[in-house]
């Protein structure tokens, strides 16, 4: 199809599909009138059963924890896929590592940016750690904390220190940490199976105070593993993407393009 | 307005699909895919809303205060991670495509490949 | 609860993570990791066999985290395992083991990620087959998808894999997001994510417009995955460029999983609510026929061996959909056995193609003419597999096709014979031309020569002998396809499993109330599964047709009638126009297809007006106590509520 044909065909067909979709959407109960019963059923029992006040994390890591195992491994696979696709290939070699790409027209990193970025690294790490350890309390959790931890590393790169970034996050180490995080989560479930309990049963002590840091059994532990896995995965992905620009270069007699 | 959020859902889906179909740049196409996914977030969170209820976190409100549906929020969280993973993978494909083909236009990619 | 059930998904995931974690440490001992991965896949296959045997006495339900449903409301995730689910997952595990054994010597350089990706792919497939929760289905579907995208792009040195992987990923991602929209939509009305619970809730609002829209959206992603026309364009692109062991899985299991998902979602969730079974059956029958014929025609004109096999998969996917669309136990049983037979045979064909690529360095059929003569064993296995694809008795494919035809009626037989002849004929043409040098040397298509030339960098050196690890797996797979076809009790067993699969009331009772159903109610009479003379004639007919087509293709220059006629030229031009390789076109076709299907469903279910037949309106819950007059044997359901 030519682009023009495609646009017109899509406008017609797309209008039909959207009309069909709207026809169905208008059959919903109406915004604000959620009928249940899944939500109320969980809200009724969650604090008593898990001692967690962060209900969404309790669902993610306990009630529907098995979904989260799958999702963890989706992230794992994505990081592995990025590493596979962007690895150094035959016909390419590492050029001498530089902090900034020589063939790009980039302004020098100003001292203000450098200072602010480096100074923020510590607080960001702390904030990420705090988020990852408070999943059972408030709207934080392993994912949120892990992403913040990853951005701390990206801040190092942004401050103009790509080489430092690479030294702190070697591919092999982040690979291992990521695998440990993902496997740790799955293994917590297996440990329940080893004890004769259903997979991912919350068998650790639930603590006294709902929502305290040391409460809610396996939820806090799972959140920790999720945090390190997510952090490692994103550091790996960002590192690979940066490598392409700053580190890897094709031989000049490359194949077309 | 009881149906307005759902009309927004259909609109976002339409816009995203239009972007994917008429795109001439791979990165733009991938971002439009994110837009398509965003319509599902709005839908998920929209169906779970309860008027007059609080967020499902009980560390500062009494235990059985009526709250919105927490399950859709958990689902949306899962979806965000899935989408981030898929986007990262697709962007790495785009980088390799640029290196191999020298272009990011989907039509030229097909032509060059043969 | 059976503790094997979570292990079947978790073991491949843990081994994948372990292989990645220990990869940098054991770089010099790469074989250890290869072996660990193969053993993990084999262990999963064995566990699934055990599970399948255990489920013959009744469905197995496993509640994760110990969260059981209370008063019909489930708050956790469950696995609901039936023989058909376990059987399909077992097929996947067997094919993954075969593919990984094959790659022992196949790749030039294997990063540790290959085993990890194959294992996560397997875990996604197994989770998809066994789950009883709609959102969980989506999560495993995505894991399967992301692993597949990464595996397709496994050789990014070439241009082809990246472009094929992009088309594959963007098309399937759009499908996955549409499915998610459907899941959110049905959640909005029923407030449930468990399939049984949704089914019960939705059955209270028959033919509600939201149900129709949600159904179409949920199966949108599955239709794209199962490469039904017009959602099929990505498949040929992906197959042409993915490494051969990966193509084994795509054709052998992944496409069939989309169809399994459609059947599962229909029977466990939406079937009762949609009603209008005859009309819906006709719609899917039409889709299946269109796919079968289109795939077969395009298959025959292809000269790139892997693309040809991909189009044959599309054609067979259409035939499986026909079996499912008949909505009878016999049709479903036929589709199930056909899937198994096709998976084994197609895997063997791809592995043999891999051997050809390894030894001769090409998959371009015209170039390969006669050069395959030294590969004698491979030639024999390839030819046998080709005959199996053409439904030669006693392959399992013949059995499955026979049951589908028996369930549909005589009108289907000529159609399926034509499709099988074209697909089988193409494979036999390759077998005859490449391995035995039959026929005249064909002219070479420069474009295909260029595509095929890109395949060379997949394989490692040592090209004088075919290693044992490469020839033994396809041989075993072909033998398995024959063995399964001759098992006597198979028909009775599979049809009983199909009756259980289609028993909506039994499913709900088992999941939500812990019932243990031993004689489920059949919606329609169980059909005869003995091999009849018609079946054998039909099977031999399609083999004969395949041989004729292959002979025509190889010797057409010698026939004065055909010498002046260039059959493939015009078809080639039109094919290129559709299979453009531009992903924007593919998405446009997806939208066109969904809009048309949506219109048809809306018309059939809502606007056609007439009330559905009375038997459809029996409430799901009360079906348990009815003695069905349709089953020949006396059958009241034996319902015992046991503690699981």
Most B-contacting residue of A3, A24, A78, A240 (CB-CB within 10 A), to test interface: A78
Which comes out higher in pLDDT, residue A141 or C616? Answer: A141
Kindly state the average pLDDT of the residues B27-55: 93
Structural contact between residues A231 and A146, judged by C-beta atoms closer than 8 angstroms: yes
What pLDDT score does A35 carry? 86
A 55-74 → B contacts, CB under 8 A:
55-56, 59-60, 64, 67-68, 71, 74
> C301: which residues sit within 8 A by CB, 6+ positions away?
C568, C571, C572, C575
What pLDDT score does C618 carry? 43
Q: Which helix (H) or strand (E) holds C517?
A: strand C515-517
Residue C64 C-alpha, separation from nearest chain B C-alpha, in angstroms? 16
Residue recorded with tokens 């693309």: C307
What pLDDT score does C461 carry? 52
Q: Choose the closest CB to B14 out of A18, A26, A44.
A: A18
Length of chain B: 114
Percentage of residues in chain A having pLDDT higher than 90:
29
A 197-226 → B contacts, CB under 8 A:
210-211
DSSP-based three-state secondary structure for B103:
coil
Rounded Cα distance, A54 and A41, in Å: 16
Kindly state the average pLDDT of the residues C172-196: 94
Structural contact between residues C490 and C73, judged by C-beta atoms closer than 8 angstroms: no
Residue B25 CA to its chain's centroid (Å): 19
**Which pair of structure tokens corresponds to residue C606?**
């809502």
Burial C281-319 (b: 16+ CB within 10 A, else e): beebbebbbebbbbbbbbbbbbbbbbbbbbbbbbbbbbb
CB contact under 8 A, A25 and B9: yes
**Which pair of structure tokens corresponds to residue A48?**
């008593």
Question: Does residue A247 carry a pLDDT above 70?
Answer: no
What pLDDT score does A103 carry? 65
CB contact under 8 A, A138 and B57: yes
Q: How many domains does chain B have?
A: 1
Q: Is A39 on the interface with B (CB under 8 A)?
A: yes
**Which pair of structure tokens corresponds to residue A113?**
């940016």
Q: Which of C406, C407, C351 is nearest to C384 (CA)?
A: C351
DSSP letter (8 states) at residue A92: E
Residue C94 CA to its chain's centroid (Å): 14
pLDDT band at C400 (very low <50, low <70, confident <90, very high): confident
Q: Choose the closest CB to A257 out of B46, B88, B101.
A: B101
Rounded Cα distance, C262 and A104, in Å: 51
Lowest-pLDDT choice from A182-186, B86-90, C245-249, C438-442: C438-442
What pLDDT score does C567 carry? 56
The β-bridge partners of A92 are A250
pLDDT band at C225 (very low <50, low <70, confident <90, very high): very high
Structural contact between residues A216 and A206, judged by C-beta atoms closer than 8 angstroms: yes
Identify all chain A residues contacting B49, using CB atoms and an 8 Å cutoff: 31-32, 34
Cα–Cα distances in Å, from C3 out to A66, C8, C17, C76, C643? 15, 9, 21, 17, 15
Q: Which helix (H) or strand (E) holds A248?
A: strand A248-250
Mean pLDDT taken over chain C? 83
Give the structural domain span for B62.
4-113
Rounded Cα distance, C91 and B32, in Å: 37
SS (H, E, C) A178-210: HHHHHHHHHHHHHHHHHCCCCCCCCCCCCCCCC
Highest mean pLDDT among B59-68, B100-109, C54-63, C277-286: C277-286
Question: Does residue A1 carry a pLDDT above 80?
Answer: no
Structural contact between residues C452 and C304, judged by C-beta atoms closer than 8 angstroms: yes
What pLDDT score does A74 carry? 96
Q: Is A66 on the interface with C (CB under 8 A)?
A: yes
DSSP letter (8 states) at residue C612: P
Cα separation of the two ends of chain C: 6
Question: Does residue C168 carry a pLDDT above 90?
Answer: yes
Residue B61 C-alpha, separation from nearest chain C C-alpha, in angstroms? 23
What pLDDT score does C433 carry? 86
**Which pair of structure tokens corresponds to residue C209?**
């417009």
Structural contact between residues A71 and B78, judged by C-beta atoms closer than 8 angstroms: yes
Please name the residue of chain B whose CA is at the shortest distance from the CA of residue C179. B40
Lowest-pLDDT choice from A35-39, B3-7, C177-181, C571-575: C571-575
Structural contact between residues A117 and A156, judged by C-beta atoms closer than 8 angstroms: yes
DSSP-based three-state secondary structure for C195:
helix
Most A-contacting residue of C116, C191, C205, C456 (CB-CB within 10 A), to test interface: C191
Rounded Cα distance, A236 and C557, in Å: 58
pLDDT band at C571 (very low <50, low <70, confident <90, very high): low
In terms of Cβ atoms closer than 10 Å to its own Cβ (0-12, 13-18, 19+), residue B109 is: buried
Using only C-alpha atoms, what is the Rg of chain C? 24
Rounded Cα distance, C128 and C256, in Å: 12
- Tens digit of each residue's pLDDT (9 = 90 or more) over A24-79: 999 888 888 888 799 899 998 888 888 888 899 999 999 999 999 999 999 999 99
> C8: which residues sit within 8 A by CB, 6+ positions away?
C44, C47, C48, C51, C89, C126, C130
Helix ranges (DSSP H) in A107-170: 111-133, 142-158, 162-168
Highest mean pLDDT among A181-185, C448-452, C458-462, C509-513: A181-185
Rounded Cα distance, A173 and A84, in Å: 16
Residue A221 C-alpha, separation from nearest chain B C-alpha, in angstroms? 18
Question: Does residue C566 carry a pLDDT above 60?
Answer: no
Q: Which helix (H) or strand (E) holds A250?
A: strand A248-250
Question: Does residue C577 carry a pLDDT above 90?
Answer: no
pLDDT band at A105 (very low <50, low <70, confident <90, very high): low
Find the CATH number of the domain harbouring B47.
1.10.287.3510
Q: Which of A25, A14, C182, C581 is nearest to B19 (CA)?
A: A14
The DSSP string of C31-100 is: HHHHHHHHHHHHHHHHHHHHHHHHGGGS-EEEEGGG---BTTB--S-EEEE-HHHHHHHHHHHHHHHHHH
> What is the ipTM score, two decimals?
0.96
How many other CB atoms are found less than 10 A from the CB of residue A98? 11
Mean pLDDT taken over chain B? 90
Cα separation of the two ends of chain B: 52
Rounded Cα distance, C147 and C119, in Å: 9
Q: Which of C227, C317, C362, C304 is nearest to C572 (CA)?
A: C304
Which comes out higher in pLDDT, residue C522 or C38? Answer: C38
Rounded Cα distance, B75 and B56, in Å: 14
Burial C464-499 (b: 16+ CB within 10 A, else e): eebeeebbbbbbbbbebbbebbeeeebbebbbbbbb
**Which pair of structure tokens corresponds to residue C523?**
């919606």
What pLDDT score does C560 carry? 66
Residue A27 C-alpha, separation from nearest chain B C-alpha, in angstroms? 10
Q: How many CA atoms lie within 13 A of C213 on its CB side?
A: 24
How many other CB atoms are found less than 10 A from the CB of residue A168? 16
Q: Choose the closest CB to A42 out of C75, C591, C596.
A: C75
């Amino acid at each position: 199809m030519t682009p023009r044909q495609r646009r017109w065909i899509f406008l017609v067909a797309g209008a039909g599909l959207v009309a069909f979709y709207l026809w169905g959407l208008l059959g919903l109960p109406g915004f604000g009138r959620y009928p249940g019963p899944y939500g109320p059923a969980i809200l009724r029992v969650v604090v008593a059963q898990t001692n967690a006040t962060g209900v969404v994390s309790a669902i993610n890591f306990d009630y529907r924890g098995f979904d989260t195992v799958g999702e963890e491994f989706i992230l794992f696979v994505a990081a592995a896929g990025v590493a596979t696709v962007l690895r150094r290939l035959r016909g390419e070699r590492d050029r001498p590592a530089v902090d900034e790409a020589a063939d790009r027209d980039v302004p020098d990193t100003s001292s203000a940016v450098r200072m602010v970025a480096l100074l923020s690294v510590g607080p960001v790490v702390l904030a990420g750690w705090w988020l990852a350890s408070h999943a059972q309390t408030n709207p934080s959790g392993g994912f949120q904390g892990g992403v913040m931890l990853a951005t701390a590393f990206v801040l190092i790169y942004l401050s103009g220190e790509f080489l430092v970034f690479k030294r702190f996050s070697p591919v092999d180490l982040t690979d291992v940490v990521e695998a440990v995080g993902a496997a740790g989560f799955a293994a917590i479930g297996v440990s329940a199976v080893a004890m004769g309990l259903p997979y991912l049963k919350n068998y650790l002590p639930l603590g006294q105070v709902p929502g305290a840091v040391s409460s809610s059994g396996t939820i806090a532990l799972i959140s920790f593993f999720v945090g390190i896995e997510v952090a490692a995965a994103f550091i790996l992905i960002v590192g690979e993407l940066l490598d392409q620009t700053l580190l890897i270069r094709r031989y000049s007699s490359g194949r077309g393009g | 307005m009881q149906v307005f959020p759902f009309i927004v859902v259909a609109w976002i889906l339409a816009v995203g699909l239009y972007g994917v179909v008429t795109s001439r740049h791979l990165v733009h196409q991938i971002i439009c895919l994110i837009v398509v996914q965003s319509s599902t977030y709005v839908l998920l969170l929209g169906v779970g809303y309860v008027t007059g209820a609080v967020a499902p976190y009980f560390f500062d409100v009494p235990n059985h205060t009526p709250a919105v549906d927490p399950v859709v929020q958990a689902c949306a969280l899962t979806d965000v991670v899935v989408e981030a993973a898929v986007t990262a993978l697709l962007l790495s494909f785009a980088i390799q495509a640029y290196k191999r083909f020298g272009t990011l236009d989907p039509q030229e990619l097909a032509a060059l490949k043969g | 609860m059976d503790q094997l059930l979570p292990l079947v998904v978790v073991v491949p995931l843990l081994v994948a993570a372990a292989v990645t974690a220990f990869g940098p440490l054991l770089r010099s001992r790469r074989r250890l990791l290869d072996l660990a991965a193969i053993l993990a896949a084999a262990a999963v296959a064995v566990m699934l066999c055990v599970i399948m045997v255990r489920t013959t006495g009744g469905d197995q339900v496993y509640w994760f985290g110990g969260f059981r449903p209370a008063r019909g409301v489930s708050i956790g995730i469950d696995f609901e395992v039936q023989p058909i689910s376990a059987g399909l997952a077992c097929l996947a595990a067997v094919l993954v083991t075969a593919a990984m054994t094959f790659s022992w010597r196949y790749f030039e350089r294997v990063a540790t990620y290959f085993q990890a990706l194959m294992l996560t792919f397997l875990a996604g497939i197994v989770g998809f087959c066994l789950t009883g929760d709609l959102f969980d289905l989506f999560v495993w579907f995505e894991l399967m998808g992301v692993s597949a995208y990464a595996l397709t792009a496994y050789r990014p040195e070439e241009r082809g894999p990246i472009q094929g992987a992009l088309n594959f990923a963007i098309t399937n991602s759009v499908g996955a997001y549409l499915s998610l929209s459907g899941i959110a939509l049905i959640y909005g009305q029923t407030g449930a994510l468990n399939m049984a619970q949704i089914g019960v809730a939705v059955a209270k609002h028959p033919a509600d417009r939201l149900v129709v829209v949600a159904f179409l959206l949920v199966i949108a992603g599955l239709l794209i995955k199962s490469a039904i026309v017009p959602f099929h364009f990505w498949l040929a692109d992906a197959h042409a460029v993915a490494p051969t062991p990966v193509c084994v899985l795509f054709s052998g299991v992944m496409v069939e999983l989309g169809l399994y998902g459609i059947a599962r979602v229909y029977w466990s969730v939406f079937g009762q609510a949609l009603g209008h079974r005859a009309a819906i059956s006709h719609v899917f029958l039409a889709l299946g026929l269109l796919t079968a014929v289109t795939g077969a025609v395009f298959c025959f004109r292809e000269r790139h061996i892997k693309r040809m096999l991909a189009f044959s998969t599309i054609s067979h996917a259409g035939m499986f959909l026909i079996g499912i669309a008949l909505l009878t136990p016999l049709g479903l049983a036929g589709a199930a056995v056909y899937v198994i037979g096709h998976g084994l045979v197609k895997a063997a064909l791809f592995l043999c193609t891999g051997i050809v690529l390894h030894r001769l360095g090409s998959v371009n059929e015209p170039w390969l003419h006669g050069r395959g003569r030294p590969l004698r064993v491979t030639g024999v296995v390839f030819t046998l597999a080709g005959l199996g694809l053409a439904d030669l008795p006693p392959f399992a494919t013949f059995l499955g096709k026979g049951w589908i035809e028996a369930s549909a009626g005589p009108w289907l037989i000529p159609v399926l014979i034509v499709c099988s002849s074209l697909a089988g004929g193409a494979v036999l043409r390759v077998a005859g031309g490449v391995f035995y040098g039959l026929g005249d040397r064909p002219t070479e298509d420069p474009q295909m020569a260029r595509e095929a030339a890109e395949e060379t960098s997949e394989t490692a050196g040592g090209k004088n002998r075919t290693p044992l690890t490469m020839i033994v797996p396809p041989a075993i797979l072909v033998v398995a396809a024959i063995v399964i076809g001759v098992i006597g009790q198979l028909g009775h067993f599979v049809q009983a499993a199909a009756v259980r699969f289609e028993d909506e009331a039994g499913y709900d009772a088992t999941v939500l109330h812990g019932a243990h159903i031993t004689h489920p109610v059949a919606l329609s009479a169980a059909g005869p599964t003995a091999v009849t003379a018609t079946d054998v004639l039909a099977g031999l007919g399609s083999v004969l047709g395949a041989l004729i087509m292959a002979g025509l293709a190889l010797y057409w220059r010698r026939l004065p009638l055909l010498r002046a006629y260039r059959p493939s030229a015009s078809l080639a031009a039109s094919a290129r126009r559709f299979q453009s390789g531009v992903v924007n076109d593919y998405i446009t076709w997806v939208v066109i297809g969904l809009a048309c299907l949506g219109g048809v469903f809306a018309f059939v279910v809502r606007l056609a007006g007439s009330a559905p037949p009375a038997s459809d309106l029996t409430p799901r819950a009360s079906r348990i106590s009815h003695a069905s007059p349709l089953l020949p044997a006396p059958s009241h359901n034996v319902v015992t509520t046991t503690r699981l």
